[in-house]
Structure formats: C-alpha cells, structure tokens
Chains A and B, each alone.
Chain A
Amino acid sequence: MKTKNIMIVGVGGQGTLLASRILGNLLLNEGYDVKVSEVHGMSQRGGSVVTYVRSGDDVSAPIIDKGQADVILAFELLEAKRALPYLAPGGKIIVNTQQIDPMPVIMGSTGYPDGILETLGAADVTALDALSLAREAGSAKAVNVVLLGVLAKTGDIAREKWEETLLATVPAKFTELNRRAFDLGYHYTD
C-alpha cells in the first residue's frame, strides 16, 4: 500500500507529542511499518511544533515533505495555516479553532490573521472547538485526545483498537477523562 502521511501540528505544550505516540503505536499494532518524527528541546518551548506519523508496507523517510500529508491534524488555527503547504492534493485538515497568540502578535508587531478557515481554501476541512469539548470532558489538557477521536472517525481502524492503545498510553488515573474526551471527538459532527 501507499504510505499514509499524518502530520500533527500545534504549539509547544499542547500535547502533540503524546498524540503522535498514541497514533504511532496504534498503527504498529495494526501491522504497519511506522515512522514517527518528533521535536524536542528548544523548539518545544511554546513555539510551533510538528510531528510526522507515516505508515505503510515499507516506510523510508521519517519526515513528511511539502505536498505529501494525507491528513493534517492541527491543534491550533494559525498552525493549520502554516502547515497548509504540506497537504497532499485531496488531503484532509482537522483543525481545532483555538487561537494561541504567537509573540509577534502579543507584541502587536502584527495581527493574528483573520479568516484562516477560508484561506485553507479548497481543502477538505473539519473545524471544531476542541478546547470546549476537552473542558466538557473534564480538562482543557485533553484537547489532544478529543482531536484523536475526530481523527479516529475518519479512518478505518476499529474504535476499540484506538481506545485500547489510548488507555494503554495514558496514566490510569486519567482513564475516564480520556475516554470521555475521545468519545466527544469521535461523535463530533460539523
């Protein structure tokens, strides 16, 4: 099969790394060859973070290049815009509409762009307020799991497998919270 490319983008501290690890383990359990590329160190400190999850019969490069992402899972609106050049023709964007101001916006040297959802243009976009859903589930920190729920709905891996990998990865004391967050994402409709 053709390698499937999922790109996860967000702001350092939003939990993108955990999301990519859950996804990578799930795909490995499903029998795919998997490569996950992560970002550590300085770039994690509130900057743009990008992880790549690739799966298929035989995955070569650990990164996704421009024009190659089948799915972009964006944890923050501006980061979806930044990642757009990576989208493959016919690719899909799932985006959390939460806005986190970057330093140039905070300092007033530029504004947070208006109408980002429109500029994503012809792409197949699912936009949702994952932060509110995460709060509904019990914690704003569960944004990543809400978004994984939305992603799960778009793919063909059984929901039980998702839950199994998810709950095996997160601490036991947060099982119920994560189950609720995943459910809210999974059942989200535009």
Chain B
Amino acid sequence: MKKLLLGNAAVARGAYEAGVKVVSSYPGTPSTEITECCTQYERIYCEWAPNEKVAAETAVGASIMGARAMSCCKHVGLNVMADPVFTASYTGVGGGLVFAVADDPGMHSSQNEQDSRHYAAAAKLPMLEPSDSAECKAFTKLAFAISEKYDTPVFLRLTTRVAHSQSAVELSDPDEQTVKPYEKDAGKFVMVPANAIKRHVVVEARTEKLKALAETTPLNFLQTNGSGIGVIAAGVTYTYAREALGNRADYLKLGMLWPLPEKLIKDFCAAHETVYVLEELDPVIETHCKALGLDVRGKDLFSMCGEYSPNGIKTAVTGETAQVFAAAGETPVRPPVMCPGCPHRGTFYVLKKLGLTVSGDIGCYTLGAAPPLSSIDSTICMGASVSAAHGMIKAAGGDLKHKCVSVIGDSTFIHSGITGLINTVYNKGAGTVIILDNSITGMTGHQDNPTTGKTIRGEATKQVDLELLCKAVGVEHVRVADPFDVKAFEKAVKEETARDDVSVIIAQRPCALLKTVKYTGRCEITDKCRKCMMCMKAGCPAISLKSGSPKIDPTQCNGCGLCVNVCPFGAIEKKEDA
C-alpha cells in the first residue's frame, strides 16, 4: 500500500518496521514529528525527555539491553546530545542505535544554520541522508542494520525540506521486535580509560570497514546519461539537481555521507570534464574531494548561507535563467508574530513598559524580540536566558541586578534553565527569572513536558511543581502571576526586581491554541477611545491603525481581553457572541 507520508513520519514508519522498541527525544523543529509519529505504533515505547542529552542516554541504555532504540533531535539539539554520542561511538551497541538529526538550512525555525555532517567525522559515526520520504523509511531500516552489523550508533541526517515534505511511501510489514539477550560486558560498556583505550582502537578499525562499505553500498549510486557534466549530491539537493538538469548531467548520489566513498568519487571525477559538488551549508564533501586532489566546483559558485534551489543550480551550471513575473510596488514583509491571545504578550508588554534588560530564550516567546514589543536583549540557545543574565549582572555590577530579567518557557526551563538557576543561587547572583508557564511546549506544536502532568501519549503522570522546584534550589522569593492581569503583573515585576537576591516569577496562563483554552466573544473599541495608542503597544495582530484610530479586526480577535486590561480609559469592551 502506498501512502503519502511526511519525511519525519516515514522515519517513524521505518523505525516501526525495523522493530524499534524505545524512542526518547526532545522536540525541535524540524525533527519533532518523528517521535510524535512513533506514538502511532503501540509496540514502540516513546517518550519526551527533558532534554536531548537525557533522551540520547535513554536510547543508549535501551541499546545496551539489546533493544533497537532511537533518539531524535534538531541540529542544535545534537550539541546538547553530543556528550553521550561521542562515547557511545566507543562502546558500540547492543541493539541497533540510531540518532536522527534534522538540520535547518535557511533557518525556517532555528537560531543558527550549523551543518551536523561535521559531527559524523568528529564522532566517527556513519551518517546516512535520505532525499525523500521513501528513502527516509528505507534508510532508517538500513541504519539499524548497519548499526548492528558494524557495532556502531548511526546518524540519520535530515534537512527541513526532506523532514517536512510529503511523498509516497510503500508500507511493508514490520519485522519482529527482538531484544538480544543481555550479557554484562564491562570492557565494552564501562568507558574508563583502561577500557576506552582499547575501544578507540576498535573504533578506528571499524572506520576502515565502514569505508569499504561506502564503496559498495546501494546507498551510494551512479546515474549516467552520457554527459560530460558530473554532479555529486545528497539529500534534497540531489532532487533539486535532477529537477534543474534532468538528463543533461550524470549523478553520483550519496546516501552515505560518512565515511565518503573515495574510490567512487575519484572514478566519477576522472570520467567527467566538470564535476559540481552540490551541498547546502558547509563544503563537507567538496573539502574531502579537494583533499583527494580532485578539481571540483562547489562553493566558488554557491553560498554557504541558506538553501539551494533548482533555479539557482540551473543558472550556475548552464547559465540559463528562469522567466519571472515581478509585482509592481512594495510588498510589506509578514514576519511571524505571537498569536492573538498569546499569554506571552502580556509579559512583554510589561517588560517593555518598565524598560528592563531582558535575557531571552528559545520558544514562541523569542517573538518578544520583534517590534513593537522589542523587549529582548539577547537570545542564544536553550536555557541561556538564566545563565546569561547571571553573567550580565556579575559583569555590569551596579544597578543592573534591579533592571535585568530572564524569560524562559516552562519546557525550556526544565531542559536546561534549572541548572542556570542553581548556578545563580549558588554563586550569590541576582535578577529575576520569569518562567513563562503556558502549560505546554508551544513552538514545536504542543508537546507535553515534565511540567504538564501528561506523557507523550497523554497519560497522567507526576508533574513538576515549578514553585517548589525553585524554592528547593534555594530561591527565597517565588511567586505566581497572571501576565494578562497587567497591573498586578507589573507590580510583581517591580517588587521582585527590587530585591538584592535572585527571585522567580511564574507567569501562568495557558497557550491560546490549546483546545482547553476557550476565549469567547470579541473585543471592540468604543467611542470612549482617546487614541492614546496604548493598545497598539501590545502588538496584537488583531489591532491595527485605520485612518488614525485603532481598530480591532473581528476575524483575528479571539476575545482574550488583554487589550481591555491594557486600555487606560476603559474604551475597549468585550462583546459576547450573539
């Protein structure tokens, strides 16, 4: 049976058909749906872990016990995961072990554009890269087979366009879910120096075997059309090249990115007048070719920034350009904004009003950096809001401790904000940490986390009590406030930032997109409006200026009522639906 599947759903299907037993991940665009789709299969144990390191370690443990296991993350999640990954390379596996990592060229939803292929060589782990959903499924199954045959964890690398594209997949019956009998093997799994020294030798020998595999595996294949132009490509870029050049080029399609098939590449280059290496982001394959003394074209023609495109490839290789319509006049940009009813809007409205220095974090609330709220001073990575604010206050001294807050989501706080808070308390830091508790992991599309009281399958479970947790690490001043009650929230922020030691405000209001949140009615501006424009400062996409007066677009308003609380003249009223 053929089915249209998202690349990520096809990876999940591949894991299911391969008899995977344990999947542990932390959500991150564009990888999230792999783990979500695994929950469709009853026999796979799935979980959201608090962060990628914990997730990968859980998968490693499952593999040691002899089960097939997988952990999935986005490119920056791999940085968090890197510690166990590099040593799991030394231990090898029990049951097959796959780390699926999704890069985001073009940064559709990311804070950097790192190229995870570098990790394969660095961790000495084979890496496969599919170019459509059918390959996503097939390569996932192959990854588990390679993992067990070569006693190695395997990277499955995706990019956004493969992870988030749907194409046809032929479904097969699943393999049996077997768990190899566990036998204690300290020499293999206890990585103290005496054992690791021996395992490193095993790793290097394994790499030689994987190099031989790369030359013969059907993952890498030639497609010849008798052209003098040769293209070396992998992943979605291969599909762009096929689109742009069709039968006008020959192709060496790489499904295995590390180790690279040196002989295949050399022979391909020898057989073609000009060889183009087409790869988004860094020149990983190109650099390897050049190290082999091969004269290839690549980043001399293409950018290291952003995504490739069929037109771009066609122009670079053939000089042909596409005929393109141009619309007359300016087209205003439409950047993403916080949704109508977003609880974060109240928080940032107050922070902006008070003119505080705001150390930001990763989530929907990063949009608090955009105009008109423009509140955030820095955003680096998951958890950095708390620790960076600590550094800011220690460095600046003076009054900054009364003027600096960090903002961090509930899931992000559990991911790696709590360690920063422990550091601030331990090292006698200051400042106010605002935990934006919207009852869900928002940006990645509503995943449960340890603060929601539900597992990935929606079962009830223990719930982290954020208030108690903060108190337990030594924060003396912890309070809960509703960011939509702007007056009380402003008072809370003023009082907490006035303290000399660290304090926490838990800004509690659920994400407006949750099914359990039901705002009713619509807000309307009445003739009491004095055009003071305070409501405009909230940056709600439903309120815009029409002929000099603020107007609320009823198709955009969800009746959350924040603007009612913001208006100093009581000129905005909530009208219930008839």
B161 touches A63 (CB 8 A): yes
In angstroms, Cα B132 to Cα A44, docked, is 22
- Report the separation of the CA atoms of residues A79 and B334 in the bound assembly, to the nearest whole angstrom: 9
CB distance from A49 to the nearest CB of B (A): 9
Tell me, in angstroms, the Cα distance from A41 to B366 when the chains sit together. 12
Instruction: Please tell me if B424 contacts chain A, counting CB pairs below 8 Å.
Output: no
Q: Give Cα A36–Cα B165 distance, bound, in whole angstroms.
A: 5
> Bound complex: CA of A59 vs CA of B325, how far in Å?
24
Specify which of B309, B310, B327 is in contact with A84 (CB 8 Å cutoff).
B327
Inter-chain CA distance A103–B33, complex, in Å, is: 29
Q: In the complex, what distance in Å separates the CA atom of A63 from the CA atom of B165?
A: 9
Q: B239 and A45: CB pair below 8 A? A: no
Given contacts A45-B367, A103-B541, contact A24 B4 (CB under 8 A): yes
What is the interface of chain B, defined by CB distance below 8 A to chain A?
A: 2-4, 6, 29-30, 32-33, 108-109, 132, 161-162, 164-168, 236, 239-240, 242-243, 309-311, 322-339, 364, 366-367, 370-372, 443-445, 536, 539, 541, 543-545, 553, 555-556
Contact partners of B3 in chain A: CB under 8 A? 28
Chain A 50-61 per-residue mask, 1 if CB under 8 angstroms from chain B, else 0: 000000000111
Q: Which of A37, A60, A101 contacts B164 (CB 8 A)?
A: A37
- A60 contact from B243, B366, B536, Cβ within 8 A: B243
Pull 13 A–B residue pairs with CB atoms less than 8 Å apart, ordered by A: A28-B168, A36-B166, A38-B165, A39-B108, A45-B367, A65-B311, A81-B327, A101-B541, A103-B370, A103-B539, A110-B330, A116-B327, A123-B325
Residues of A contacting B165 in the complex (Cβ-Cβ under 8 angstroms): 35-38, 62-63
Sample of 9 more A-B contacts, CB < 8 Å, known A38-B6, A63-B310, A105-B332: A34-B166, A35-B132, A40-B30, A42-B109, A45-B367, A60-B239, A65-B322, A85-B324, A101-B544
Q: Please state if A24 and B166 are interface contacts (CB–CB under 8 Å).
A: yes
- Cα of A140 to Cα of B338 in the assembled complex, Å: 21
A105 CA to B338 CA in the complex, in Å?
16
* CB within 8 Å: A-B pair count: 191
Chain A residues within 8 Å of B, Cβ to Cβ: 11-13, 21, 24-25, 28, 33-48, 59-63, 65-68, 78-79, 81-82, 84-85, 87, 89, 98, 100-108, 110, 112-113, 116, 119-121, 123, 131, 140
For the complex, give the distance between the alpha carbons of A38 and B327 in Å: 24
A116 and B331 CA atoms in complex are apart in Å by 10
Top 6 closest A-B pairs, CB basis? A41-B109, A41-B29, A47-B336, A62-B165, A102-B334, A67-B322
Cross-chain contact A47 with B544 (CB below 8 angstroms): no
A residues in contact with B327, CB < 8 Å = 81-82, 84-85, 116, 119-121
Query: Which B residues touch A140, using CB under 8 A?
Result: 555
Chain A, Cβ-Cβ closest to B551: A101
Q: Is the CB of B239 within 8 A of A41?
A: no
Chain A residue with the shortest CB-CB distance to B307: A63
Bound-complex Cα distance A140 to B558 (A): 13
Chain B binding surface SS class: loop
A62→B109 contact, CB < 8 A: no
Bound state CA distance, A13 and B337, in angstroms?
Answer: 11
Select which of B167, B311, B330, B543 is within 8 A of A66 by beta carbon.
B311
A40–B372 CA distance with the chains assembled, in angstroms: 24
Q: How far is B315's CA from A89's CA once the two chains are assembled, in angstroms?
A: 19
On chain A, the residues within 8 Å of B167 by CB distance are 33-36, 59, 62
Task: Evaluate contact between B161 and A37: CB separation under 8 angstroms.
Answer: yes
Residues of chain A lying within 8 A (CB to CB) of residue B164: 37-40
User: What residues of chain A lie closer than 8 Å to B371, measured between beta carbons?
Assistant: 103, 107
Give which listed residue, B323, B539, B541, B545, contacts A67 with CB less than 8 A. Answer: B323
Cα–Cα distance between A28 and B323 once the two chains are bound (Å): 29
Alpha-carbon separation in the docked complex, A107 to B541 (Å): 10
Query: Do the beta carbons of A46 and B555 come within 8 Å of each other?
Result: no
Our pick among B166, B243, B335 for the contact of A103 (Cβ within 8 Å) is B335
How many whole Å from B90's CB to the nearest CB in chain A? Answer: 34
Contact of B236 among A24, A59, A61, A107 (CB under 8 A): A61
Considering the chains assembled together, what is the distance between the CA atoms of A78 and B333 in angstroms? 10
B166 touches A82 (CB 8 A): no
A13–B556 Cα distance when bound, in Å, is 10
Query: Which of A12, A66, A108, A113 has the most chain B CB atoms inside 10 A of its CB?
Result: A66
Find the B residue at minimum CB distance from A59. B167
* Max chain B C-beta neighbours (<10 A), residue from A104, A123, A140: A104
Q: Are B29 and A98 in contact (CB under 8 A)?
A: no
B323 touches A107 (CB 8 A): no
Q: A40-B164, A41-B444, A102-B332 are in contact. Are A46 and B325 (CB under 8 A)?
A: no
- Whether the Cβ atoms of A45 and B337 lie closer than 8 Å is yes
CA distance A89 to B555 in the complex (A): 34
B7 and chain A: residue at smallest CB distance: A62
Find chain B residues with CB under 8 A from A100 CB. 541, 553, 555-556
In the complex formed, the residue of A with least CB distance to B32 is: A40
Chain A contacts for B324, CB-based, 8 A? 66-67, 85
CA distance A41 to B362 in the complex (A): 12
Known: A85-B326, A103-B541, A113-B332. A40 touches B29 (CB 8 A): yes
For B168, B242, B323, the residue with the greatest tally of chain A CB atoms inside 10 Å of its CB is B168
A121 and B324 CA atoms in complex are apart in Å by 13
CA distance in complex: A58, B103 (Å):
26
Task: Compute how far the CA of A123 lies from the CA of B370 in the bound complex, rounded to whole angstroms.
Answer: 35
A43 to B337, CA, bound (A): 9
Residues from chain B with Cβ under 8 Å of A79 in the complex: 334
Chain A contacts for B243, CB-based, 8 A: 60-61, 65
Q: Measured between C-beta atoms, what is the minimum distance from A77 to chain B in Å?
A: 11
Contacting pair A25 B336 (CB below 8 A): no
Instruction: Find out whether the CB atom of B336 lies under 8 angstroms from the CB atom of A61.
Output: no
Q: A42-B29, A108-B545 are in contact. Are A34 and B4 (CB under 8 A)?
A: yes
The distance in angstroms between the C-alpha atoms of A79 and B327, with both chains bound, is: 11
